[in-house]
Structures are given as structure tokens and as C-alpha cells.
Structure 1
């Protein structure tokens, strides 16, 4: 190759390198019209201008990109032109247009940015809510979509569910898009009405509620029945049938089976994964209680309850007499008790004397015994007594009669030792005390006489001598004066005055 050719290629390569390095972005600036603030609904024009230094004849294709947000959150517009200035217009500004705007210029392998802040006063657009699907069964999920097409992200969306006309929050989410979706599960058939709101992330103002959307929510069980036969009153020995049935909604397409459970109180009796749970038996008194039918599909649970009372006929009553030692004396308290071992309430207790044609007392009680009391028995209360107990615990009225008992009320009260024992004991104790005092007194008296004789204190000629004898049996005793007869006279000892009745 000749030297001329090599020189040509060398100059060509150097020229290319000169093109890549001789294009420089000198200055970039973004401006807005209006400059710092705008009213909602008015247009906002953003203009990005750039100053470029380039060699003559070199191409100058400039890329302009407009973003909302200082972090280039949302791209508003992009364009490429050779002009050193480019404008982009927001036709109808909203409150969410408030914020930083960034212009990015790209030229070759060079990039430059500039930003400005604009505040827009006014209301935020009312969003639009859509829901899919519109027909669901309780326990299924729905998707809510809230749109704010004319607002500028970043935005925050809030979803609400209405209960008795009052909204309650069910979801909240921020996004750099103009819409957001939220999925939730319908837990009750009353979860039918929804709405949403939107606000700018950096704003305190919020839009009004969207128009509410109403969906159709069906119970997964189109029918749920709990039957007990016989339907009216159940008597002991009857054929007793409990049946729990369910029919599922036509909207259910899954293979999930329904679980049916019958319980009595807290005890499970039977369980089934078909459309029926059933119990058949002869009714007994133990079958009385609260029964519950549980129908469960996924997380949906339905409960039906029924009270069962098995009526039991009364047993033969027994008549008992309450009296001391089965002896009834005039003036005694007399109690008659008519009792049954079993029988459904209420029970009618009737007391008779002598003849079954006429009763003297009757009571209707929720109890297994009836009582009649004579506070003070009289001889006229003597006679033959019996009672009857009855209830409606069978196909026919059930009535049972007790045995007969004879009561004889005595006119004179017998002497009862138990009444006199306390008195006898008290008199005996009093007698023993008096006897002890008497013996003690006589001993003291003799001792004093002997002491006086030894001291020569007795006077002669039958003169009565009074001697003062001081003897304290206890520290607090008073001094006693004793009349002592002369040695020539006669005297008698004092006796105890205790009277024993």
C-alpha cells in the first residue's frame, strides 16, 4: 500500500475521533409556564433548552425526556429533535401535578438534567372503581381496580368496604402508576358495596370517594336445613330422627366437599361429607338437650340449633309423713311430702284425705316433690291420706296414685323425756352446789368454836359471847360474825335454804 493511501486512512480515523469528542452539552435549563404555581384545570407548559458546543457540520440529534418526581419516577414525554429547545404541555393540571419536574437531555454519550418545582392548587380527581367478578359466593376472592387516569404518580390508593352504610378500610397501596389493584376475600354475604380514594404521596388532600360498586354475594349453601322428627312434642319411646341437609350454590365449581356435623352440647354425634347427616333412634329421657348442625365449606361455617325435650311420664308417687318417731300429737307440726322418682315437668301434685272425690291441696311444680304442711295438728286431722302426681308426658294424660297412710293425732301430748332433761340437769347441779356450800360452812363453824375455847374467850353464866373470828377463805372475802351459844346452853346448826323444784 502507498504512503498516500495510509495517510488518508489515518486522517479519516482522526477525524472520526474528533467528531466524538467535539460535541459538548454546555448548559441545560427547564422552565414552566406558569412558573411556580398553577390552578387545577389550567395547562402547564414545560420547556427544556440546551446549549451545545459542536464542530461545524456535525449532526445534533438531541433526545428530550420529561419526568415527574425528583427521582425520575414517572415519564411524561419523550422526543428527539435537532432544535436546542423543546416544549411539552400538560393540558389540564390536577393537584397531584404538584411536585418536581425533571428534564433529561441526551446527546451522543452525554446526559444532562435540570429540575423545577410546581405547585397546583385544587381538587384531586375522583377515581373510578371496577370489580371482577361481579357475582361471587361467600369465601371467594374479588379484584378491585381503582383508576385515576388524569392524575400524576406517585399516588396512594385506598379501598373501602361498606357495612351498614359506613365505610371501613380494607386495603391501601402506593404506586408509580395511575391505577392499582387490590385482591380480597369475601367473608360474608353482606360484603357487597365497595369504593376507593386517591391522593398524591406528598399531599395532605385526598379525593372524594369513587362511585360505589355493588356486587352480588351468594351464600355457598343455597339451602341449609336442620329438622327433628317428631316436629311437635317427643315422648319417651317415640321414633326419634335428627336430619341435617345442605344444597350448594350453583356458582361453586370446585370439588371441595361440604362437611356436616351434628353435636349435642359439645359432644359430636355424627359427621358426614355428603349432603346429609342423619341420626335415627328410640327417644329416651337422656336425649333431652341442645342439638347443633354445623355445615362447613372451605372457611365458611353455618350453624343451626334446635332444643329437644323428651317428655317422660310420672312414676308412682310415694307419700311420706314427717313427724317425730311417727307419733303425731296435738299441736305438732305435720308435713306431708308427695314425691316421684321421675317425670317431665311441670307435675301436678294433689293431696287427698279419706275420699278421692275431693282434694284439700293441689300445686303445679317444676320439681320431683310436692309438700303440704299443717303448722299445728289437731285431732280432726286424723285420717287416711294419699296423693296423686300427673303430667302430660304421653299420648294421653298420665296420672299415678300413691299408697295410703293413716295419721292419728293424739289429744294429749305424751311426756317426752327430751323436754325435761335440761331442767333436771340444772336442778341437780344446783343441789350439788348447795350441798358443797353447806358442808364447807359447818366445817368452818366447828373450827372457829374450837379456836375460841382454846383462847378462853367463852363467858360463863349462860351469857352469850360474841367473838369475832376472822378467816378469809379467799383474799376478797368479808369478815363474818358467828353467834356461838354458851357451853351451858344448846344450839342447832344452820341449814341450806336451796329449794329444789
Structure 2
């Protein structure tokens, strides 16, 4: 018994025994928490517990405890064991050593690779960066955080493994890289750098246009010059010029292929030739010349008529003339009778337009015209036209009153007599009706009404074959032999009664007759 006690007391230290054991996982992944536990048969007898990795002391505890690796790394792989000093009896302590445990820490994910949709994009293109890595199947649910960088500048950080630049520019050229990390940043790896070279497209195909489109500008309105290019990227400087003076009208710069320059309050002085230029640093290009014509909008047109003092007779031809002297052609003129449209006339080279009417009594009323030349329309002032029945083309000369005398008719501006061949009361009745007199009374000879007709005065009607119902002598059938002299001139006597219906429809017409009163002769009654 004593011998055994002595053997235990003086046994060599650090000898592996079953009294102390080690418990630990065989493998782990980067970032895992790894716990190494050493315990004895009676932990209460442990005075000091020491943990070793690869023969190196890594931690010492003064009681039975565990050693925790909170964030496992590849370098934590290796052999682990522990030693303890336990109380043998009284003040005698012995050293116990555990068996060896092996830990292998696996890589959670490899260093990511940066994938670029285009390493040599053209300015304005969309470029996508992807940060690609992979997780082991056992940790496929691990959430990774991604960051994208250009040089030392962070472009994006978050859970998305891709970053899209909707439009890349020349100054975006440079080295790009990305980083993948766990949510707590316990594991982090960066990609290698990828260089992106952004190419600029020189400007070409400069075109100068206007809004509104076309080569017309309207006085008093706004004209917009639009300069555009077919191709060209990056910052482009657009400039506008007047060709004949080389005057610079304005300049705009930006990342666009189309720019506008507004010119308010256009007037006649703005007519001329214009062009624009575009330059994005690779050479200036110039547009073709655009000739601008300033079009003057219509003002209030002037409407006139060919009728003196706007008085006319039924049967006359009336010319309505509408004119705007300043409006730029082409001008479209419209003519109106009250609210009724008569028609329109287009004047392609400017000037006035005319509209011809063959007048009837119904043409009395208000007239106006309207002019328009593509910008606006303007109406003239209204004129009022009075259309009367034409004066009778027959008269009774040198009688006692206006309804008695020698019968004379007018043809082509000359007055002549009527032969009394076949002259009867039916013929006189027509004459009386045409003159607005009363009933026919007699068919006297015309020669009794002095003075007699002049020798050179023609005889216009030889025989009038009236049936008595005609409205005018000119409507009666006639025989044209003309062998009468003024000694056979016809006369007529009518009642002087004037029917009310005639008064309502006719106004008295005072003829401008040089012989309305014969010298030293009887009173002459001109026709109505």
C-alpha cells in the first residue's frame, strides 16, 4: 500500500491519462464559434487548466472551463490538447494531460470575382457589375453583404450582388473591385481589380430645325431653334449662329444630343440664314444652313364693293374685294353674306381677292370677309349693300303728267322711240304697268307731244305684239322691220293712280337725264 502511494506521488508529470478528456468539433467554417472543453473525473480537484494548440499554450484557466474561439479562421486549424494540475492529497498536486483533438477550419467562401458586362463600353451605355462567389451547401443560407468600389470610392453597399450603372461616362473610367462579407463582417474577401475604359463617340450629323417646323416664323410669336446630332456622347456644346453676320445667338452644354434655343418676339429683322454647331471634344461639326422667312400674320382686312355708295340694282354684277396689304402670302380670303358663306379665294402670292355676284333683291344685307394665312384669321368690318329694282327702261315724254306722253325705250344707254304699227291698248296696258301708273286710257300719236323726236334718235321697236299681261314692254314679242319714221311714234295715256304694292316695292329713281326738262318746253316727268 505504501509502495503504491509512493509510486503515484512521484510519477512523472505530463503523462497522458484518462483522468482528463478533451471535447471539440473536428471541423468548422470561417466565422464559426468553436468551443474546446477539457474536463476531469473530478473537476473540483482541478487547480489550473491550460489549453494548447500545436504544442503552444493558448489559454490558462484556474478552474474547469471551456476555451471559445469566437470567430474561427483558417489559421485556427491544428491539434489541440489541455493539461491540468489536480490535487492529489493534502498539498501534493500532479499534472494530467488530455488526448489530442484535431480541428480543421474550412473556407466559408472563396474570394469573389468581379464580372463586368462590358469592359470597354461607349459613353451612355448601361454597365452591370456582378460580385460572384459561392457558399458550401451546408451554409447556403448564409446571407452575404456586397460592396462595390471604384478606386477608393464606395459605389454601393447592400445585399445585392450586382450593381448597375444606367449610363456610364468617360470620367467613370478606372479600376473597379468588390467585396463580399458576412452580415457581422466576421468573414470578408475582396475581388481583384478590373479596369473599365469608357469610350466617347464623336458628334456627327448636326441638324438645325425649328419649332414650329418649317422655314416660317410668325411676327410677334416665339421661334425655337433646335440643334441635334445623329451621334455623339458625353458633354456636348451646342452653338447657334446667324450666317450673314456670324453673330452668336447662344450656347448650351450638357450630356444630350438635342438642345433648344428660344427666340421670343420674332419680327421682320429676324429673316435670314442660320446654322448651328456641336462639339464634344473630338471635333466641331456644323449643320446645313436654314433659311428663315418671317411671316406676317393677317391684320383686319378691308372689304370694298364696286357699287357706288354700296347702292346697286338687281341684275348688276357686283365685285366684292377683300384685301390685307401686309399679310404674308399665301392668304385665304372668305366672303360672307350675313352668316352665309359665299365662297373663298386663295391668293398664293399676296394681294387682294375678289368675289363676283350677279345681284338680286335678296342680295341686300350685310357683307364681310375674313383673311387667314396659317397663323390666325381676322374679319373685316361689315358693309351694308342696298339692292334695288332696276329703273324702268321705258318713259313717257312731254305729256301733261308722268303717265302720259311719247313712248321711249332705252337700249345700251340710248333712248329711242316706238313705232305705232299695231300699237293698241294691250301695248299701252303693259307700258302703264311697267311705269307703275294706273290703267291704260288712250293710244295717242306720239308726234302730238312736242318737241318731236330728234331725227338722229333711233326707233327701237317696230311692232310690239303684247298680250297685255307682260310686266315690261321688252317682254313682248316684236317684229323687227324698222321702216317707221318719227311721224309714226307711239304715245300712251295712263291713269296717274299708283298702286300701293308698287309703292312698297319700288323707290323713286331720279334719272340723270340731260333732257329731263326741255328748253322752254313743258315739264318732263322722269321714270321711277
Q: TM-score, normalised by structure 1?
A: 0.33
TM-score of the superposed pair, with normalisation by structure 2: 0.31
